[in-house]
Amino acid sequence: MQNSISFIREHGYGIISDVFSAPELAAASEEVSRVELKRSRAGARPVLSLRTISELAHRNKLLAIARGVLGANALPFRATFFDKSPNSNWLVAWHQDTALPLTAKRETPGWGPWSMKNGVNYAHAPASALEQVLALRIHLDEANETNGPLRVIPGTHRSGVLTDAEIQICVTAFPGVLCVSAAASVIAMRPLVIHSSSKSESDQPRRVLHIEYASMPEIAEGLRLALV
């Protein structure tokens, strides 16, 4: 595990195999398929309030990874279910994840623009806050070369929040890494690592539970993360 933690810190992502068995994920997989969720083309959010998802997010196996990277107090604050299939297919251009959900809007230097989604305040955050966040992507299905897996540019999480033009320079200069992984594995990703995914060219689904952890609930002075 320590080797994986060191790799994530250095490269901004990491693939950890055999974290769960298929039966361990069965309850979460069944619940996101059964419950009426507010869905978009890409999947559903928020899902951290679902019992099986919350229990999964607090499992020691995941907390050990998150706390190894972020510190001993790291806890989950957001979960999203991505469901890429022939019936729901999309691509994601190269980008960084910079918007965070917050319990209240408070104009703060370095934060913004602000928006409201499903009754929750969101703001684009500075690097100082995003460096306290780690996403753990639990793969309910295999992610292979044909079903639209995650692609990352290693090390770019150390470059801060980039403009679109700066992202394109990185994309041109550095080759991306395709994150293929077996079902029940976990892909860890820092929000500032530049990443993308292509459309699926396969009949095989690619379902992912994307759970985000933060080093502490108060992500900056006067700003507290909302649980979504």
Cα distances (angstroms) measured from residue 124 to each of 54, 98, 109, 129, 135:
25, 5, 11, 10, 16
> What is residue 29's predicted lDDT score, i.e. its pLDDT?
85
* Mean of all residue pLDDT scores within the chain: 93
Q: What gap in Å lies between CA 68 and CA 62, rounded to an integer?
A: 10
> What is residue 24's predicted lDDT score, i.e. its pLDDT?
85
Query: Domain map of the chain by residue range?
Result: 2-99+135-215
Q: Which CATH superfamily groups domain 2-99+135-215?
A: q2cbj1_9rhob like domain (2.60.120.620)
Confidence of residue 168 (pLDDT cuts 50, 70, 90): very high
Q: What gap in Å lies between CA 164 and CA 94, rounded to an integer?
A: 9
122 within 8 A of 179, measured Cβ to Cβ: no
Sign of the alpha-carbon torsion through 139, 176, 6, 17:
positive
The first and second tokens of residue 189, run together, are 């990703």
Confidence of residue 42 (pLDDT cuts 50, 70, 90): low
- The mean pLDDT of 161-190, rounded to a whole number, is 96
Which residues are within 8 A (CB) of 141 and not within 5 positions of it... i.e. 6 or more apart?
147, 183, 204, 205, 206, 207
- Rounded to two decimals, the pTM is 0.94
Q: What is the pLDDT of residues 47-69, one digit of tens each?
A: 898 999 999 999 999 999 999 99
